[in-house]
Amino acid sequence: MENNNEGVMMKKWTTADIPSLKGKNVIITGGAGGLGFEDALALAKAGATVIVAGRDAAKGETALAKIRSDVPSADVSFELIDLADLASVASFSERISAKLDKLDILINNAGVMTPPNRLATKDGFELQFGTNYLSHFALTAHLLPLLKKAKGRVVSLSSVAARDGAINFDDLQAEESYKPMPVYAQSKIACLMFAFELQRQSDKNGWGITSIAAHPGLSRTELLVGKSDGRGLSGVVRKYAWFLFQPVAQGALPTLFAATSPSAELGGYYGPHALRETRGYPHKAFIPKNALDGEVSRRLWDASEKLARVSYN
């Protein structure tokens, strides 16, 4: 986990390089649309048993129909989860634990981005911190026994925005001051720090789990384009310069590489290779200095266990 990215271009890795995933169980949060859908489609093509997790059952069934149309042999299903509600996360995990004997790949993908006003989850957490980071922290803890059985992989989605992120322990839930992008950046550097700390915890405790982070660069998802209200410079760029963003299937490649490639490194971080990691093929990503602070990572881990009411021990 060095704070650089290698100058040597990796092979142009694509979905054609995904190995057979027959017998592998996969969960993807936010798998009914955008990057998550592309992940689900590619992994189903590779033979995995894929569980698409989301909060909209109708959208989930539509996604399954699309996957089955493209991959008639696909073993895919939908499970309801509301990542803005820790009780829903726990309920989902109970159902999955009763259904599966192991979990090979968990992709913590779902997220929300820069609502103009501060919103809260059902548990009272700031929406971006609670949904993007804390719910996935809790979900991974609940599914840890299944991950241990499979010596599975956990892929956590970060963002180029994490470069500007910092953990504000004095106002973790942005109750005193809410600015959409800094709060989003905090949630995404938290995801990155979680990925690194999860690998450290796995190594220390002998869990056998591989934890890897990834980011999609700038991709043409609803999160970036369709949900923009057009306000501010970034909103104008998203709304009217959509052509600057790479296709969603391309943006999904770093996640798919992290989830499946034998070459993906434990505790690694991957993103697109070109134009300051905004587009291209999977490549070792730049790691912000803040994400390498082990003391802050452990403090965040301890705080998150208390907030999410879970334990990794």
Domains of the chain are 21-218+250-306 (3.40.50.720)
pLDDT at residue 8 in the model: 46
Nearest alpha-carbon partner for 103 in 30, 154, 138, 67? 154
pLDDT digits (tens, 9 = 90+) for 190-224: 999 999 999 999 999 999 999 999 999 986 555 54
- CA dist 180 and 162 (Å) reads 13
Q: Locate 249 and state its tokens.
A: 């299937």
Token reading at 98: 């009763």
Assess whether 184 carries a catalytic annotation.
yes
Mean pLDDT of 35-47: 98
Confidence tier at 10 by pLDDT (50, 70, 90): low
| Mean pLDDT value of segment 266-279 | 90
Confidence of residue 7 (pLDDT cuts 50, 70, 90): very low
Asked whether the predicted pLDDT for residue 6 surpasses 90, the reply is: no
**Any idea what the Cα angle at residue 262 is, between residues 97 and 271, rounded to 5°?**
90
Checking if the pLDDT of 4 tops 50, the result is no
How confident is the model over 62-114, as pLDDT tens digits? Answer: 999 999 999 999 999 999 999 999 999 999 999 999 999 999 999 999 999 99
**Could you tell me which residues are beta bridge partners of residue 154?**
106, 211
User: Average pLDDT of 8-13?
Assistant: 70
- SS3 of residue 213 by DSSP: strand
Residue 25 belongs to what H/E stretch?
A: strand 25-29
Residue 40, both tokens: 């689900």
Element (H, E) at 127: helix 127-128
| Strand residue runs (E) in 184-302 | 210-214, 269-274, 279-284
Q: How far apart are CA 170 and CA 292, in angstroms?
A: 20
pLDDT at site 3: 45
At 120, the amino acid letter reads: A
User: Is residue 153 a contact partner of residue 210, using CB atoms and an 8 Å limit?
Assistant: yes
pLDDT-wise least confident of 40-54, 62-76, 241-255: 241-255
**Active-site residue identified among 184, 269, 270, 281:** 184
DSSP secondary structure string for all residues of 132-143: IIIHHHHHHHHT
Query: The tokens of 97 are what?
Result: 């634990």
In this prediction, residue 244 carries a pLDDT of 61
Enter the pTM of the model. 0.91
